[in-house]
Amino acid sequence: IDQSVYTYEYPTVSTSDCTLYVNGLEINDSSDQALRTLGGEVELYDVVVSGGGSGNQSTDGAVEIEYSSGAPSVYVAGLTVSGHQTAPGLRISSSSSTEGSVSVTDAIISGSGSYGIAVGPLPGSNNTFSEIESTGNASDGFYISDAEIAIGEEDTSDPANNTAGLQSAYNTGHGLYMVDSTVTAVELVLSDNIGSGAEINNSSADLAYLTVASNGFGGATPHDGITVTQNASAILREAAITGSAANGIVVDSNAIADIDTVSSASNGLHGIEGTDATLSISAVTLESNVLSGLNVTNCQVDTLDSCSFTSNSEYGMVCDVASTFTTCSGNTFTTNTLGESSGCEAVTCN
């Protein structure tokens, strides 16, 4: 399909076990799915989908790419989906156990009636997404379930050459949500979502070079900047987390987090809160939070080194008797309103 425009038809493009090549397609106001593929090889270039979804005939995405057998083969370079009323803007999934290849770059999803992008289940590790924008959707900006994916690409020799990952903002749900998945992601901007900036649930995640700002406002309960929960394991590095409605970072429910070179400032509760968790915290700045910089309950803190606790409205750090610290050195505490620490008398942190 080359340089075509369709309006009002449903499904506008539908294929099954075919090789589909699309270049320069525009679809307007399709009543349900605009483009649906079941199996086969899929290549999409410069596809625009606007409006539609009023027929509410299914929960399939405006662009739905699905596999029930065989290896996924998906290449998307240039996709814009806006204003689809009832379902995700883009959904990619496979119930097959055969590993394939999925590559999505330069995708802009906005105003969907569900997730912006939904991925999974998806076999294998050759699944990459880059230069993604997902804004103003009625649920999570980017939802991942039972998948292993990479978002953006890190240049380990020069971070200035990192490939952009995801900008997810003004969504009714979380900016980024993952469950039962493995995710590496760099160059993320997660802001102004009603849910958390990111929630990592029973997943393994390495998130780097991220900006998380002003999340968690406007819902029934305030949300955190980043939540690591339910046996998840997360590396958080080179990050700035500011202005969350609740905590900057929460680690709980037997989760593990390695937090390195991160600032968590001006959040509505604590900079970092850990409950029933294992933490390693290095070179972290906890500043001007409404409660304390760090609050731990029943945690194993393997490392708390070279951190700065400054101008928090309660204490620099708060501990309970059930929490233990393995190493704690090189930290500074400055002008925290109620003092350096509370309940941490057995811990030497200077």
Instruction: Please give the Cα distance from 92 to 218 (Å, whole number).
Output: 30
Contact status, residue 200 vs residue 229, Cβ threshold 8 Å: yes
Q: What is the mean pLDDT of residues 208-236?
A: 98
Instruction: Please give the Cα distance from 119 to 117 (Å, whole number).
Output: 7
pLDDT value of residue 313 = 98
Instruction: Please give the Cα distance from 37 to 239 (Å, whole number).
Output: 38
Q: What is the mean pLDDT of residues 149-169?
A: 98
Instruction: Please give the Cα distance from 305 to 327 (Å, whole number).
Output: 7
Q: Length of the chain in residues, anyone?
A: 350
pLDDT band, very low/low/confident/very high, at 191 (cuts 50, 70, 90):
very high
Asked if pLDDT for residue 275 goes beyond 90, the answer is yes
pLDDT value of residue 153 = 98
More confident residue, 184 or 55: 184
pLDDT value of residue 32 = 78
Instruction: Please give the Cα distance from 268 to 306 (Å, whole number).
Output: 24
Contact status, residue 212 vs residue 225, Cβ threshold 8 Å: yes
What b/e readout covers 178-209, taking b as 16+ CB neighbours within 10 angstroms?
A: bbbbbbbbbbbbbbbbbbbbbbbbbbbbbbbb
Strands 204-213 and 73-82: unpaired
Sign, CA dihedral 25-165-257-198, equals: negative
pLDDT value of residue 31 = 77
Asked if pLDDT for residue 1 goes beyond 80, the answer is no
Residue the block writes with tokens 């294992």: 278
pLDDT band, very low/low/confident/very high, at 115 (cuts 50, 70, 90):
very high
% of the chain at pLDDT higher than 90: 89
Residue the block writes with tokens 């369709």: 6
Closest CA to 207 of 231, 230, 177, 180: 177
pLDDT value of residue 197 = 98
More confident residue, 14 or 45: 45
Closest CA to 60 of 121, 118, 139: 118
What residue type is 256 in one-letter code?
I
**Contact partners, residue 345, CB within 8 Å, separation at least 6:** none
Whether the bond into 121 is cis, omega within 30 of 0? yes
Task: Give residue-wise pLDDT tens across range 294-337.
Answer: 999 999 999 999 999 999 999 999 999 999 999 999 999 999 99
What b/e readout covers 74-105, taking b as 16+ CB neighbours within 10 angstroms?
A: bebbbbbbbbbbbbbbbbbbbebeeebebebb
Asked if pLDDT for residue 56 goes beyond 70, the answer is no
Count of beta carbons in the 10 Å neighbourhood of residue 55:
13
Asked if pLDDT for residue 55 goes beyond 80, the answer is no
pLDDT band, very low/low/confident/very high, at 209 (cuts 50, 70, 90):
very high
pLDDT band, very low/low/confident/very high, at 277 (cuts 50, 70, 90):
very high
- In order, the DSSP letters of 292-331 are -SEEEES-EEEEEES-EEES-SSEEEE--TT-EEEEEES-
Q: What is the mean pLDDT of residues 44-71?
A: 87
pLDDT band, very low/low/confident/very high, at 99 (cuts 50, 70, 90):
very high
More confident residue, 99 or 30: 99
Instruction: Please give the Cα distance from 106 to 92 (Å, whole number).
Output: 16
| Average pLDDT score, the chain | 95
Instruction: Please give the Cα distance from 49 to 54 (Å, whole number).
Output: 14
Question: 57 vs 7, 87, 90, 122, 206, CA distance in Å?
Answer: 17, 10, 16, 24, 38
pLDDT value of residue 218 = 97
pLDDT band, very low/low/confident/very high, at 86 (cuts 50, 70, 90):
confident
More confident residue, 328 or 12: 328
pLDDT value of residue 346 = 75
Task: Give residue-wise pLDDT tens across range 228-264.
Answer: 999 999 999 999 999 999 999 999 999 999 999 999 9
